[in-house]
Chains A and B, each alone.
Chain A
Amino acid sequence: MFDLLKEMRYNNYGESKMELREKLIILADSAKYDASCSSSGSQRQGDFGNAHMAGICHSFSADGRCISLLKILLTNACIFDCKYCLNRKSNNIKRAMFTPEEICTITINFYKRNYIEGLFLSSGIIKSPDYTMELLIKTMELLRYKYHFGGYIHVKAIPGASEYNLQRLGKLVDRMSANIELPTESGLKLLAPDKNSDKVEKIMNYVKNKKSQNFVPAGQSTQMIIGASKESDLDIMQKSENMYHNYNLKRVFYSAYIPVNQDKNLPSLLTPPLKRENRLYQTDWLLRYYGFKVSDILDENNPNLNILVDPKASWALKHLEEFPKEINKCTYKELLQVPGIGVTSAKRIMKSRKFFNLDFADLKKMGVVLKRAKYFITCNGRFSLNKDFLNSHFIETNLVLEDKSSIKEKNRQLELFHE
Chain B
Amino acid sequence: MNKVYVYDGTFLGLLTLIKYLLSNKIKPYNIVTFDYQENLFLEVINLHLKVSDKISGLFYNTFDKVTMKRIYYVFLSKEKNKEIIIYYYLLNYLKYGDSLSGMCNLKCVSKVLEINKKVGNEAHKLKGFVRFKELKQNILYAEINPDNDVLEIISKHFKKRLKNEYWVIKDVSRNIVSIYDKKDFYLALGEDVKIIQDLSDREEEFSKMWQDFYKIVAIKERKNEKCRRNFMPKKYWPYLLEVRDEL
Enumerate chain A interface residues (CB-CB to B < 8 A): 20-21, 24-25, 28-29, 32-33, 45, 47-50, 52, 54, 56-68, 70-71, 106, 109-110, 112-115, 117, 256, 258, 271-272, 274, 348, 351-352, 354-356, 362, 365-366, 408, 412, 416
Contacts and interface: CB of A to CB of B under 8 A. Distances in A.
Contacts of A68: 128
Contacts of A20: 209
B210 A49 contact: no
Interface stretch (B27-35, B68-76, B158-166): B158-166
Contacts of B140: 112-113
Interface stretch (B16-24, B45-53, B145-153, B215-223): B215-223
Contacts, number: 151
Given A21-B209, A274-B222, A67 B214 contact: yes
Chain B at the A interface: mostly helix, strand, loop or mixed? helix
22 contacts: A21-B205, A24-B212, A25-B213, A28-B216, A28-B217, A33-B219, A47-B163, A50-B160, A56-B128, A57-B231, A63-B218, A63-B219, A63-B224, A64-B224, A64-B231, A65-B219, A68-B128, A71-B217, A112-B132, A258-B221, A271-B221, A354-B102
B171 interface: no
Contact of A62 (B134, B162, B223): B223
A271 B104 CA distance: 45
B213 to A, nearest CB: 5
Nearest to B130: A114
Given A109-B206, A113-B133, A113-B206, 16 more contacts: A20-B209, A25-B216, A47-B164, A48-B164, A61-B214, A65-B218, A65-B222, A106-B206, A113-B207, A114-B142, A115-B131, A258-B222, A271-B221, A274-B222, A362-B105, A416-B223
Contacts of A32: 216-219
B110 A365 contact: yes
Interface residues of B, number: 57
Contacts of B215: 62
A64 B227 contact: yes
Contact of A355 (B102, B142, B217): B102
A60 B228 contact: yes
B188 interface: no
B232 A59 contact: yes
B82 to A, nearest CB: 19
A59 B214 contact: yes
Nearest to B207: A113
Contacts of A57: 125, 128, 231
Contact of B162 (A49, A65, A355): A49
Interface of B: 99, 101-105, 110, 124-125, 127-134, 140, 142, 157-158, 160-165, 202, 205-210, 212-228, 230-232, 240, 242-243
Nearest to B219: A63
A20 B206 CA distance: 10
A408 B104 CA distance: 34
A152 to B, nearest CB: 11
A61 B217 contact: yes
A309 to B, nearest CB: 21
A109 B202 contact: yes
A32 B230 CA distance: 21
B128 A117 contact: yes
Contact of B103 (A24, A47, A61, A355): A355
Contacts of B219: 32-33, 63, 65, 258
Which of A20, A66, A112, A366 gathers the greatest number of chain B CB atoms within 10 Å? A112
A112 B135 CA distance: 12
A112 B165 contact: yes
A28 B217 CA distance: 7
